Amino acid sequence: MQRYKGPLFLLGGLAAGILLGLAVLFAVPSRLDMSRPAPPATGKSVPDFTLQDVDGKSRSLKSMRGTPLVINFWATWCAPCRQEMPLLNDYAKKLTGRVEFWAVNNDEASSVVQPFVASMSISFPVLLDPGGKINGLYYVQSYPNTLFIDSNGILRAQHIGQLNEALLIRGLEAVEVKP
């Protein structure tokens, strides 16, 4: 009787593994959002979106066609985001009319974002993303995250993490803006 315990135990484990594998196989497709576009990729068009800025003005990505765009995904609680904001603000002022800068805040209330914008004297549009829908659309998982989009709406460069001046210049050059 002892000699049958090993094979039965092995057979039971194999059956449990097969059942678990089938459960995962059939459960995963139902959890995927097949309508969600693929993540933005360098050399490809980025998905359009429309958000309100902190002043209540509606801004859409498609309205920016013809102008290079730097989109910075950020949050007020993110220390590197706070540290790079003056650099972005300086370049937004310096390059006015040649490139547009947008800061897309992730899911924070206007009452939190507006005082931050005022304290930093941010001169470029700061957009609110309630529920983080656009952050999700762009697969943003860490902050800051900066996209460099050319005048045709094509992603030319992306930097995840805090920008320094050299990295910002490299991104701007990717969208054919010479600082």
Beta strands in 56-97 (DSSP E): 58-60, 69-74
Which tens digits make up the pLDDT trace of 159-172?
A: 999 999 999 999 99
Kindly report the number of other CB atoms within 10 A of residue 169's CB atom.
Answer: 15
Q: Which residues pair with 146 in a beta bridge?
A: 72, 159
**Cα separation of 177 and 159, whole Å?**
17
Q: What backbone torsions phi and psi does residue 162 show, to the nearest 5 degrees? A: -70, 135
Which pLDDT does position 3 carry in this prediction? 56
Res. 29 pLDDT band, cuts 50 70 90: very low
* pTM across the whole model: 0.80
Q: What pLDDT score does 36 carry?
A: 75
The per-residue pLDDT for range 101-119, each reduced to its tens digit, is 999 999 999 999 999 999 9
Task: Read off the pLDDT band of 30 (50, 70, 90).
Answer: very low
Fold (topology level) of 50-174: Glutaredoxin (3.40.30)
pLDDT, residue 31, reads 46
Amino acid at 54: V
Residue boundaries of the structural domains of the chain = 2-31, 50-174
As a whole number of angstroms, the longest Cα–Cα distance in the chain is 86
List, for residues 127-143, the tens digit of each pLDDT value: 999 999 999 999 999 99
**Would you state the pLDDT for residue 2?**
54
Specify the 3-state DSSP secondary structure of 96.
coil
